[in-house]
Amino acid sequence: MKNSKAKAATGTVAESPLLASDATVAQALPLARFPIGKVDKVDVSLPEGYHEPSLKYVERDARHGSLETAMTYTTVPNPFNCANFSSEPVSECFFFPGSKEVLMNLPNYPQPLVRPKTTSFHMIDVPGKGKGLFSTRALKVGDLILTERPLLVCARGVVVLRPPNFSDAQYSQYSLDHLERVTEIAVSRMRPEAKAAFMALANCHMEDGSGPLFGVVRTNGLSLGGLRPGVRGEMGTYNATCKDISRLNHSCSPNTASRFDMASFSYSLYAVRDIADGEELTYQYTAVGVPAAERKKELAPYGFVCTCTACTDVATSDARRSNIAAFNANLIEARASDKFLGKFLVKCRAQLELVEQEGLESLRIYWVLLRALMDVYIWRGQAKDASAYAAKLDKILWDADLPQDYKQFIDPKSPAYEKHEMWRKVYRG
């Protein structure tokens, strides 16, 4: 499913890179199936350093040979060494070597799953979209809507050995069959209620050669980074399938965004602007700052054409979005003139308005602009105005990249103002 804001998460659900280019080939080859390599469960003992039963899996393709992929199936957090959380939902994971260690080496891992006090959503049928999530109360920007551990976290970019003499189409189907098998092992480890939730999720890959389980992963998986240090791009991310977040439908002006917390191994979903009681909760599956035609292409594998306002009034929206993308909100002048700051302020406010008109509060540019406005007011010595923007920044809980130093400016009387190196350092002219 989604792209977690290309990086975030974040969150968003993405197609397997292995399959993205093969999808059309596979479509042309409906029911052709090929035997896949023998899967040996060669090691169910505890690898050194682990305090939980991990299933080590090695694939040996008896006929073709040489590739051995050592992957780990594991449960996070592990009910054996995290007895305090044994009643909490867990994630079944299919990990590359090293990912488990990332978690084990976190100083504060594992943490419990902290749920919001009130339920703020329910799932209902949406004409033309399957099911979707809707708010059951008015939400304010920054409100926590839900937290959840993924049902399944699956490695992306698993290398599948290409048997000799296989055509592209044959190899594509062979890979899909292989990925179905590895997904099946992870799903078979799920608790019954988790498995039922997984099996109930949408699958828009019924007709392209994907198996029923891998089809669900492709339809619903959010992009999850941070578990493969040193591995760049898509290959460095996992595919996380969730019970609730995966039920969110896409909008190019999403009103929610998620953030993943490694220590509790959970997503938190936040309102990125005020949401009315009964409004549909939406999420971005793909980068939304780009032109409509690009978004349409990226969304095609999900089997729908987006009909949000940005995709229907393309001329207006594309012009605004390219304007937003082109703006540089960095305050570059070391000692700025009052005149420069005045103009910069007007520009930032106008850009902020564009971001709000386009419903792009989930994007990084939103807080970059709020921060720039706060900075300008600090430079000008206007603490009250600066603190209003600091307070807005304080609502942006969905973006882990936001530097937290704004917090000292929330109180307009804070001594941090006078200590700021640019406080009232503006010269006339």
- Least separation in angstroms between residue 305's CB and ligand SAM is 7
Question: CB-wise, 310 or 402, nearer to ligand SAM?
Answer: 310
- Least separation in angstroms between residue 411's CB and ligand SAM is 41
Question: CB-wise, 239 or 246, nearer to ligand SAM?
Answer: 246
Residues near ligand SAM (CB under 6 A) are 1, 128-132, 201-202, 204, 219-220, 246-247, 249-250, 302-304, 306
- Least separation in angstroms between residue 287's CB and ligand SAM is 15
Task: Count other Cβ atoms within 10 Å, centred on residue 100.
Answer: 21
Question: CB-wise, 1 or 372, nearer to ligand SAM?
Answer: 1
- Least separation in angstroms between residue 329's CB and ligand SAM is 30
- Least separation in angstroms between residue 197's CB and ligand SAM is 11
Task: List the one residue out of 399, 89, 123, 79 whose CA is nearest residue 268.
Answer: 399
- Least separation in angstroms between residue 283's CB and ligand SAM is 8
CA 237 to chain centre: 10
Question: CB-wise, 197 or 378, nearer to ligand SAM?
Answer: 197
C-alpha to C-alpha distance for 23 and 2, rounded to whole angstroms? 17
- Least separation in angstroms between residue 98's CB and ligand SAM is 29
- Least separation in angstroms between residue 323's CB and ligand SAM is 24
- Least separation in angstroms between residue 311's CB and ligand SAM is 9
Question: CB-wise, 202 or 355, nearer to ligand SAM?
Answer: 202
Pairing of the two strands 130-135 and 121-126 = antiparallel
- Least separation in angstroms between residue 126's CB and ligand SAM is 7
C-alpha to C-alpha distance for 352 and 115, rounded to whole angstroms? 32
Question: CB-wise, 54 or 219, nearer to ligand SAM?
Answer: 219
Pairing of the two strands 282-283 and 249-250 = parallel
Question: CB-wise, 3 or 78, nearer to ligand SAM?
Answer: 3
- Least separation in angstroms between residue 4's CB and ligand SAM is 13
Task: List the one residue out of 340, 19, 290, 314 whose CA is nearest residue 154.
Answer: 19
Question: CB-wise, 306 or 365, nearer to ligand SAM?
Answer: 306
3-state secondary structure the chain: CCCECCCCCCCEECCCHHHHCCHHHHHCCCCCCCCCCEEEEEECCCCCCCCCCCEEEEEECCCCCCCCCEEEEEEECCCCCCHHHCCCCCEEEEECCCHHHHHHCCCCCCCCCCCCCCCCEEEEEECCCEEEEEECCCECCCCEEEEECCCEEEECCCCCCCCCCCCHHHHHHHHHHHHHHHHHHHHHCCCHHHHHHHHCCCCCCCCCCCCHHHHHHHHHCEEECCCCCCCCHHHHCEEEECCCHHHCEECCCCCEEEEEECCCCEEEEEECCCECCCCECEECCCCCCCCHHHHHHHHHHHCCCCCCHHHHCHHHHHHHHHHHHHCCCCCCCCCCEHHHHHHHHHHHHHHHHHHHHHCCCCCHHHHHHHHHHHHHHHHHCCHHHHHHHHHHHCCCCCCCCCCHHHHHHCCCCCCHHHHCCCCCCCECC
Question: CB-wise, 75 or 223, nearer to ligand SAM?
Answer: 223
Question: CB-wise, 56 or 131, nearer to ligand SAM?
Answer: 131
Question: CB-wise, 56 or 195, nearer to ligand SAM?
Answer: 195
Task: List the one residue out of 79, 89, 120, 78 whose CA is nearest residue 278.
Answer: 120
